């Protein structure tokens, strides 16, 4: 039982960019007590979590020993590896630890095998599981749902993600996301992640009382007319330097909800993807026509802001998830959220 008199004991699972942001937040926020840190790196094993996150030592060292953390007395785990491992999630939930994650389980289908396993683990451990993120998980989910309260009539909801990756240092951007490839290869090999985004769209549709007939998706790629030098390397002329993924929820024969992810390495591509800074745009077409925009201030740095939004969207729900009954808890099950300890 968590009381207001003691901090929530948390474990940070993995120490990449998202994990480091979370460690710094847990260290600064008095409503949390960082109890443990998991790392997949042997080089980080035994290293103080504060040093891994670029701050002063915290007295908590990272470990590669999963069993040690499973046995730890903790209330919640912020689970942030590159890819989810259902076995790890099951073990954490069964060990009595609630879990929050930005990894895409925003509105899992009840009959899906992973959903069944997670629900069983929650019941066995008396724990709750919640997934969020900035998109999917927030912009097209809870933000769009709350924003719809302003509308008298809705004809369509369009959620657009704009991400400028030109300052992102990871060379993986040139391959993992499809940048730097031949346009034909990108179309053949790039996965459109329909399941992840259809879950997010499905949550919004359910919240709006819609029944989705089917989902459709598409990909448009753009190139630069000259070699493009970015933080992660060089993209030759004619190779993929931008892309737009589009997912549609078809309701009564028309696209009622549309998600667009517009990723780019520069402006002025062929064809143009979109101009301007990274941001999230929620458009309500109807009465009245309304637009909500989430954009970082220039001094914040758009890439870092996006990572912070990704982490905090679930970290700031930890208190509500810990207080929730056992089971998978989506945005439709939880309150909008009552973040603690942000003013400090």
Looking at the structure, tell me whether residues 30 and 60 fall in a common domain. yes
Q: What is the DSSP string of 111-131?
A: TSHHHHHHHHHHHHHT-EEEE
Q: Which domain holds residue 122?
A: 8-132+317-328
CATH of the domain at 143: 3.30.360
| Range with lowest mean pLDDT among 90-94, 208-212, 228-232, 287-291 | 228-232
Q: Note whether residue 1 is domain-resident.
A: no
Bigger pLDDT: 4 vs 222: 222
Secondary structure of 27-87 in HEC code, one letter for each residue: HHCCCEEEEEEECCCHHHCCCEHHHHCCCCCCCCEEECCHHHHHCCCCCEEEECCCCCCHH
Whether residue 114 is found in the same domain as residue 211: no
DSSP 169-184: --GGGGTTT-TTS-HH
Could you read off the pLDDT of 197-236 as tens digits, one per residue?
899 999 999 999 999 999 999 999 999 999 999 998 999 9
Decide if pLDDT at 1 tops 50: no
The answer to whether position 2 is within a domain reads no
pLDDT tens, residue by residue, 235-279: 999 999 999 999 999 999 999 999 999 999 999 999 999 999 999
> In 3D, which of 122, 55, 29 has the Cα closest to residue 324?
122
Same domain (yes/no): 97, 185: no
Helices (H), 129-169: 144-147
Q: 33 CB contacts (<8 Å, ≥6 apart)?
A: 6, 7, 8, 9, 10, 26
Q: Are 109 and 45 in contact (CB under 8 A)?
A: no
Q: How much is the pTM?
A: 0.93
Largest CA distance in the chain: 60
């Amino acid at each position: 039982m968590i009381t207001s008199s003691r901090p929530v004991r948390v474990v940070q699972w993995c120490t990449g960019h998202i994990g480091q942001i979370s460690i710094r937040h847990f260290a600064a926020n008095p409503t949390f007590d960082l109890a443990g840190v998991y790392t997949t790196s042997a080089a980080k094993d035994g290293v103080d979590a504060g040093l891994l996150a670029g701050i002063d030592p915290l007295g908590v060292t990272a470990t590669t020993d999963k069993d040690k953390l499973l046995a730890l007395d903790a209330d919640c785990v912020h689970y942030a590896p590159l890819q989810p491992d259902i076995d790890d999630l099951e073990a954490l939930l069964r060990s009595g630890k609630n879990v929050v994650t930005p990894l895409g389980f925003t509105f899992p289908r009840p009959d899906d095998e992973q959903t069944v396993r997670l629900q069983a683990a929650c019941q066995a451990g008396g724990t709750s599981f919640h997934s969020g993120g900035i998109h999917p998980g927030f912009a097209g989910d809870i933000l769009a749902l709350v924003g719809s309260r302003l509308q008298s009539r809705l004809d369509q909801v369009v959620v657009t993600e704009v991400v400028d990756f030109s300052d992102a240092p990871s060379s993986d951007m040139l391959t993992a996301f499809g940048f730097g490839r031949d346009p034909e290869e990108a179309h053949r090999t790039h996965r459109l992640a329909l399941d992840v985004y259809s879950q997010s769209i499905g949550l919004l549709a359910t919240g709006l009382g819609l029944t989705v007939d089917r989902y459709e998706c598409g990909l448009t790629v753009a190139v630069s007319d000259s070699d493009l030098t970015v933080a992660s390397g060089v993209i030759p002329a004619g190779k993929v330097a931008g892309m737009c993924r589009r997912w549609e929820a078809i309701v009564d024969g028309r696209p009622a909800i549309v998600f667009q992810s517009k990723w780019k390495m520069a402006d002025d591509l062929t064809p143009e993807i979109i101009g301007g800074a990274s941001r999230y745009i929620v458009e309500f077409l109807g009465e009245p026509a309304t637009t909500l925009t989430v954009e970082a201030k220039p001094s914040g740095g758009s890439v870092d802001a996006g990572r912070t939004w990704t982490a905090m969207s679930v970290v700031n729900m930890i208190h509500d998830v810990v207080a929730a009954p056992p089971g998978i808890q989506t945005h439709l099950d939880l309150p909008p959220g009552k973040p603690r300890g942000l003013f400090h």
